[in-house]
Structure 1
Amino acid sequence: MTEPTREAGGGIHLTRDPSARTLAELGVETWPVWTCGVSTFPWTYDATETCYLLEGEVVVTPDGGAPVRIRAGDLVTFPAGLSCTWEVRRPVRKHYRFED
């Protein structure tokens, strides 16, 4: 069952298990793929990013905020200007796009 999109903290919007229709409407399969092994690193978003995790698990902690757990099957939007720390707990493979 698809969970509604919710604000997960720090302006991060999270949808657990979006429908195939939603993914098709967004054109997710045409987006580039990014991979990352187990690691921890700081990141600042210069532009809004939407991504769909194909594999893996990550905990993203906005600076000064609460951690957000993201796992395979999640559709996530990170707002431009967000500074955070990525803790990749299981190797990640994701489709992603940046808004113009």
Structure 2
Amino acid sequence: MSRIIIKPMLLEEAIKLGIDKWSIWECESSTFDWEYPEQETAFVFEGDVIVTSGDEVAHIKENMLVSFPKGMKCTWEVRKAIRKAYTFNYEI
């Protein structure tokens, strides 16, 4: 199965990708299970999250562009409230 892809990115660079047209999602500190029905790409404005899928552990923070593969099952541990812009089926 594909892995999580993380690329550090400044907001100015992310804006050039069109994130201003993507949906916004916010979540307070919490832990929950999640499954991605589609490939998702997100730019993180703020937050601190650990995403665990099997033996893969990804530490996601502000100013990161992240891609989650379709079908991935994982656990999100939101350590600091997150705010992200996201879209589906956008390749990075």
Work out whether the TM-score is over 0.5. yes
Overall identity of the aligned pairs, in %: 39
Cα RMSD for the two superposed structures: 1.7
TM-score, normalised on structure 2? Answer: 0.88
Q: Which residue of 2 aligns with 1:96?
A: 86
Q: Which amino acid aligns with 2:5?
A: H
- In structure 1, the gaps of 5 or more residues are 1-9
Q: Which residue of 1 aligns with 2:67?
A: 77
Q: Which residue of 1 aligns with 2:26?
A: 35
TM-score, normalised on structure 1? Answer: 0.81
Offset from partner CA, 1:3-59 (integer Å, 9 cap, x none): xxxxxxx610100124724x2342011111100000000000000000000111100
Moved over 3 A (4+): none
Q: Which residue of 1 aligns with 2:8?
A: 16
Report how many residues are paired.
89
How far apart in 1 are the matches of 2:60 and 2:11? 17
